[in-house]
Amino acid sequence: MYRTSAQITSAIQILSLWFPNFFSQRQLPENSVQGQAIYALLLRAGGGGERRAVLIVGGTHARELMNPDAIVELAIDLFLSYVNGTDIVYGNRRWNADDIKLMLESLDIWMIPCSNPDGRDEVMNVDSLWRKNMRVNAGSTCLGVDLNRNSDIVWGVAQGQTSCSPCTDIYCGPGAFSEPETRNVKALLDSASVVSFVDVHSYSELVLYPWGHAPTQSSDPSQVFTTLPTGTCTASVPASYKEYMPAIDVQRFQSVSSQIVADIRAVRGRQYIPETGLALYPTTGTQSDYAYARHIADPKLYKTYGFTFETGPLADTTDDSFHPPDPTLIKLDAKAGMISLLEQSVCAIELIGLDLFGSGGLQAFRRIRDEVLASTAAGREWVALFERLQFRLLARVIASRQLTQQAKEILRTVGGLLKDQGQEITAQSARHAEAFVRELLAKTKDAARRRDLAKVLKEVKRVAGRRVEAVVAALMGRRSTERRVETDKKRGSKRSARPRPKGRK
Amino acid sequence: MPKPRQPESNNRPSYRFAAIVTQPGRREAMRVISELGLDRLPDREGKLHLLIAPDDARRLLEHGARVELLSVTPVAPLSPALILTDEAAGADLERRVKGVPRAGGA
């Protein structure tokens, strides 16, 4: 059974009214083309100001009925877990209450369960396979714009599954963000620090990430979508063109989507596939590509990792694929995928370090990750290891006053060392870090996590007396100047005294 | 729940087909599908799976494509049996949050 758009709006309003400490509704700036108010729901627990945010959007394509219901039900499941201290269990996948609490106390979770209420009404009252919004197109008797082709990312380039003809189901509209429904999504991306975005669609059991308009490459930053013509209404992306994405972002999209797929599979064994949007079919103007592309088009904007889910399998009929008679199990898969994304959106360093350094002070940590470690495969592997471990261990750290203090002390030390990279890591600091990792190792049973922690421990044991630069260089698989000097010393003064060949530095 | 109403657009078909384009070769078929702006359904096996109106089927044939029609769906509202009534939606929400204290004690 499916909720009407009015029932979804009503659920948002009632939850905000009944439980105002947890839910709040926000009427989005613009009404739908038929004049309906559209609402977002914000979930957060605990105090504090604005946090990193996750934005979950459903109902973009009207006929994909399951997802707006799944989003509303996820909101309630998260709330009940928080207030009752109960685990969330979907099939064979369980999230313990402490982990849910951590997500809710560290993220702003924005949901637009039904971004296209006119379309949903159309499906329920007129045409069960209606896809677009209900725009009356000037000069045409055909209705509607495809809201997942209307965003400002290579907009109006009619290749693959994008068209400039109003009579098609994939019509991109008369201009980028011509539709109030897409402008509403943009408005939320503009107003919150959205680290992860997901537009939940159906069907095919996929987790998609950028790019949709061209293959991805990480070697030529000059091939960037801002140089491509838009609004051409032809397939104007050259066949040889490949869109740039830094290797660290490729890795993050792949690792996050793989974990989402693993969490969905754990529910009841459904095997979703992670892939780029292009692997499904070529598109332009999609919401999830736009969400990620924003910070490239305008570096002042927050970087958002944008995903599209395609929930549910192909069924015997098209109707049953888009709106199966009983969507209960598919909604469990969808909700598991969304929680997985929330979990992977929490940042341990930000959570523990924010009150130590403020948001400005965390920049040094981000720089080491994004500009230094990200530049080699070995460095990126350490970033991936940290991202694998951080959420799994965070609840344990937060739950223990002693571990939290230890974590803060380590971050404080590292923060100081990053400011003055000439300083050596003291034996005492190294001992503290080693004790912290050993404590975590003692509390961890999962074999994969233990392997990761053992790898960390091995590195931590070697840091005493070294400078941060040398430690980072080692993590990147490079020999630092410091190590070269040490090696030279060991080899004796004769060699180091030898004159250098010309041209070598 | 609002009453079903009839389509207003003259261009809305009275039924649609789920179809698979089997010929010509994949690259050419994709070009034709793109040129005609047809609604390609996701298909994880990579088949060229479409949801098309009868007129789209005609245009595909005219472009030399070979089309296998899999099923036909009339353009009609969603079955009312699949739509929650307002009473049921309200009761569902009440059931889910039963026992949790509400603001104002309601």
Choosing among B14, B32, B82, B86, which should be mutated to test the A contact, i.e. which has the most A CBs within 10 A?
B82
* pLDDT mean across residues, chain B: 86
Find chain B residues with C-beta within 8 A of A65's C-beta. 78
Question: What average pLDDT does range A477-491 have in this prediction?
Answer: 54
Longest distance between any two alpha carbons in chain A, whole Å: 89
Is the CB of residue A16 less than 8 Å from the CB of residue A24?
yes
Is the CB of residue A128 less than 8 Å from the CB of residue A121?
no
Identify the pLDDT of residue B10. 55
Longest distance between any two alpha carbons in chain B, whole Å: 68
Owner of token pair 């088009």: A297
Question: What average pLDDT does range A466-475 have in this prediction?
Answer: 90
Q: What is the CATH number of domain B15-74?
A: 3.30.70
The answer to whether A323 contacts B78, with C-beta atoms less than 8 Å apart, is yes
The answer to whether B4 contacts A126, with C-beta atoms less than 8 Å apart, is yes
Choosing among B83, B86, B98, which should be mutated to test the A contact, i.e. which has the most A CBs within 10 A?
B83
Residue B9 pLDDT greater than 70, yes or no: no
From B34, which residue of chain A is nearest by alpha-carbon distance?
A: A160
Check CB contact of B3 with chain A, cutoff 8 Å: yes
Identify the pLDDT of residue A505. 34
Distance CA A46, CA A102 (A): 10
Choosing among A128, A234, A330, which should be mutated to test the B contact, i.e. which has the most B CBs within 10 A?
A128
Identify the pLDDT of residue A181. 98
Find chain B residues with C-beta within 8 A of A319's C-beta. 73
A120-124, A285-289, A481-485: which has the minimum mean pLDDT?
A: A481-485
Choosing among A18, A165, A170, which should be mutated to test the B contact, i.e. which has the most B CBs within 10 A?
A18
Question: What average pLDDT does range A129-133 have in this prediction?
Answer: 96
Identify the pLDDT of residue A498. 39
The answer to whether A235 contacts B51, with C-beta atoms less than 8 Å apart, is no
Q: How far off is chain A from B65, nearest CA to CA, in Å?
A: 17
3-state helix, strand, coil in chain A (%, to 5): 50, 15, 40
Distance CA A253, CA A120 (A): 30
Indicate the helix (H) or strand (E) that contains A313: none
Distance CA A125, CA A203 (A): 22
Check CB contact of B55 with chain A, cutoff 8 Å: no
Find chain A residues with C-beta within 8 A of B43's C-beta. 204, 314
Distance CA A160, CA A285 (A): 12
Find chain A residues with C-beta within 8 A of B36's C-beta. 168
Question: What average pLDDT does range B4-27 have in this prediction?
Answer: 76
Is the CB of residue A281 less than 8 Å from the CB of residue B47?
no
Check CB contact of A158 with chain B, cutoff 8 Å: yes
From B70, which residue of chain A is nearest by alpha-carbon distance?
A: A317
Give residues 71 to 110 of A whose Cβ lies within 8 Å of B: 73, 76, 79-80, 83-84
Q: How far off is chain A from B23, nearest CA to CA, in Å?
A: 17
Collapsing DSSP to helix, strand or coil, A409 comes out as helix
From B38, which residue of chain A is nearest by alpha-carbon distance?
A: A168
Residue A500 pLDDT greater than 50, yes or no: no
Residue A32 pLDDT greater than 80, yes or no: yes
From A122, which residue of chain B is nearest by alpha-carbon distance?
A: B77
Residue B7 pLDDT greater than 80, yes or no: no
Which among A10, A141, A316 has the least Cβ separation from residue B11? A141
Identify the pLDDT of residue B44. 73
- Provide the residue ranges of all domains of chain B, joining segments of one domain with +: 15-74
Which among A83, A124, A310 has the least Cβ separation from residue B77? A124
Question: What average pLDDT does range B9-29 have in this prediction?
Answer: 85
Predicted interface score ipTM higher than 0.85: yes
Q: What are phi and psi of A218, to 5 degrees?
A: -120, 15
Find chain B residues with C-beta within 8 A of A141's C-beta. 9-11
Percentage of chain B lying above the pLDDT 70 cut: 87
Find chain A residues with C-beta within 8 A of B6's C-beta. 126
Check CB contact of A427 with chain B, cutoff 8 Å: no
Closest CA to A421 of A389, A467, A453, A466: A467
Question: What average pLDDT does range A360-389 have in this prediction?
Answer: 90
CB count within 10 Å of CB A237 equals 21
Q: Note the pLDDT tens digit of each residue in A87-105.
A: 999 999 999 999 999 999 9
Question: What average pLDDT does range A455-481 have in this prediction?
Answer: 87
DSSP A219: S
The answer to whether B39 contacts A121, with C-beta atoms less than 8 Å apart, is no
Percentage of chain B lying above the pLDDT 90 cut: 62
* pLDDT mean across residues, chain A: 91
DSSP A166: T
DSSP string, A130-144: --S---B-TT-S-B-
Topology annotation, domain A5-343:
Aminopeptidase (3.40.630)
DSSP B77: P
Collapsing DSSP to helix, strand or coil, A202 comes out as strand
Which among B30, B36, B73 has the least Cβ separation from residue A319? B73
- Provide the residue ranges of all domains of chain A, joining segments of one domain with +: 5-343, 348-491
The answer to whether B3 contacts A281, with C-beta atoms less than 8 Å apart, is no
Collapsing DSSP to helix, strand or coil, A275 comes out as strand
Confidence of residue A480 (pLDDT cuts 50, 70, 90): low
Q: Note the pLDDT tens digit of each residue in B68-106.
A: 999 999 999 999 999 999 999 999 999 999 999 998 655
Identify the pLDDT of residue A422. 78
Cα Rg for chain A, rounded, in angstroms?
25
Q: How far off is chain A from B16, nearest CA to CA, in Å?
A: 9
The answer to whether B75 contacts A281, with C-beta atoms less than 8 Å apart, is no
Check CB contact of A319 with chain B, cutoff 8 Å: yes
Question: What average pLDDT does range A214-242 have in this prediction?
Answer: 94
The answer to whether A127 contacts B75, with C-beta atoms less than 8 Å apart, is yes
Residue B2 pLDDT greater than 60, yes or no: no
Q: What are phi and psi of A305, to 5 degrees?
A: -85, 115
Find chain B residues with C-beta within 8 A of A66's C-beta. none
